[in-house]
Structure 1
Amino acid sequence: MRQQSTGKKKNPLWLFGAAGAFVLAKAKALLPLLKLGKAGGAVLSMLVTVGAYAILFPFGFAVGFVLLILGHELGHVIAAKRKGLPVSGIFFIPFLGALTNMKRNPRDAVTEAYIAFGGPLVGSMCALAVFAAALVWNHPLLYSLAYVGFFLNLINMLPINPLDGGRIVVAVSRWMWVVGLVGGLVVIYFMPNIILIIIWLMFAWDMYKKFVKYRNHGQPRAVVMPIQVEAQPLIDQGYFIPGPEHKRQLDFTTYCDLEDGRQDVLIYWENMQLEGRLTLPEQGTIKRVHVIKIDHLQHENGLRLTVHCQVDYEKYEDDAYYDVPIASRWKFGISYALLAVFLVYMMHLTHKAVGISA
């Protein structure tokens, strides 16, 4: 007689709870890594990601999978360094992958495509090395890692922002983004995945804003910067101290560094003896700088204000950014197609090798 379980079905959210428990259990041992700065943060996020994947998969697979992601991101780092762009570090995000933080953006589409191509290229070579090891040792774990490595790099080649493929094709033709919109739907239809769906929706919304909503003017952006001011000296001099809900426009000066393209905004409020410098994440046309709120904090030396200043600007779209020589368009187009075909072939070869070894 077969006994049926009468217990309640487990909520799938227990996986996230288990991941959190793992992180908390290991947090004390991992805290010294934070003292190593950016490298320590990268290692810490990498270890946490391994732990998260180890909840769902065998530990060896989790380690190998994260190392493949690391290889992919190192490809971006190497490419950025070759182009003279500084990189601040790599940060791993469990179940989402990783990202490489760049201190400044590329100044043209060729550079952007070059850096983007570095990830799938090196990532594919890492997967190829795992496949070679699988052939030597005939180990199912290595075959699985190789297949997943080829597959993830292939998915990353879809011409959809913010995937690498979406950044590579800017050096070929922006019409490839239309291919990405349609192709992305096809991929989602045959391989439904919540992360792919979110990425596709974000890409579609970005395309709508870029080519429809803000076609004739820049996209509005805003950056907030808190600036601290010691208010007690102002009070002693009889100055009026504005309240928390005080709103006003501020004077500013902006300039752009011709060497690296960085745009800074200098913010002034003379009566409050406030001065601050904000670096925009991208070049833009400043519309206004204004105070959105003021925090009043009492400390041992008297009143201190934290003035939250918001910079409203429109992103500057330079059509010259997409001026790519014909030779470069062909080079990136052919390289893009060859790498995609290579990845498809290697997935087929890995699947075939697994069948033979079995």
Structure 2
Amino acid sequence: MKVGTIMDRALLKKWKNKEFHACYLLYGKEQFLLQESLRFLQKCMDLEDSDWGFASFDLEETPIEKVIEEAETAPFLSAQRLIVATNAWFLTGSKKNNHVHHHTDQLLQYLEHPVSTSVLVLVVPSDQLDRRKKLVKQLQKQAEVCEFNSLSGAGLKKWVMKQCKQYQVSITDEACQQLIDLVGNDLFSLHQECVKCATYVGAGETIEREQVQKLVPRSLEQNVFQLVGQLVERRLDNVLKIWYDLLAQKEEPIRIMALILRQIRLLLHVKLLLEQGKSEREIAKQLQSHPYPVKLAAQQGKKYAEQTLRKLMLEALTADQQMKTRSCDRQIVMERLFFSWRTPNHN
């Protein structure tokens, strides 16, 4: 059957028109969109408040044959039944939580003769299906397969603006970008901040950049992104301000160091791959990273010499090793690294 995404208007139109397929395979890393789609499907099936027509199973705890048994049960007090089975890792190459044995042959049999009054939804929280498997091939033929890709760029901004509109407010383009810069691409967090800003300004009003700055805290990842940038540029006052803010938020130095190392690695990798002529999209795929942090790393990395980033990486790795192997004050180790980088010999 057709492979689409939640943004596929034809699929949404089918649901609104009460046209449901016997089986759906929903997969991808963007769990917010995936969960939204499940709620929308449940609403279209008139099962929002029904305990009789809806059943949910976690396949990390329940074998697939129990799910099939449920799907083969006739509906009671509803025209159709919706059966959702999450964490279908057996459709990937992952060995995660494989202590539950699944008789997948029963699912194959069900796909051949599905029950007309049941809608079965298999959910995989991964963007990698093992397409070599017979079951995956069969699902691609007989089920409606929908991939939920992470949003970035214009698509992410459009999503934020739509979220605001749902709460009867608008948001300026500048404020929208500021919100994304502060929160990142986590849709769960972005949704919460949209609700907060909409509540603050009130229905019919517009969210401005100043309100976003006032109401929305920077995520830990965004703070570390800023800290690394200020550190490379040897702006010690700004580095220490971000650092002490993180400590006040009870963030652990060892966790901050791990994120610093990750950010420096990303800057280095993106810089080198761009110099090889690769696009940001190709880099994101190669590094198995979301396109948004790759885009930010590309913008930030242009400012810094490769040699500077390599030196910072070596010194940060040394500090990280001291934190992990010595009985020492981790805060002091981190601050020694910061102070060492205010001197001009780190070019």
Q: Please indicate, yes or no, whether the TM-score normalized by the shorter chain is above 0.5.
A: no
Q: TM-score range by the shorter chain?
A: under 0.3
TM-score, structure 2 length as denominator? 0.23
> Higher strand share goes to which structure?
1
TM-score, structure 1 length as denominator? 0.22
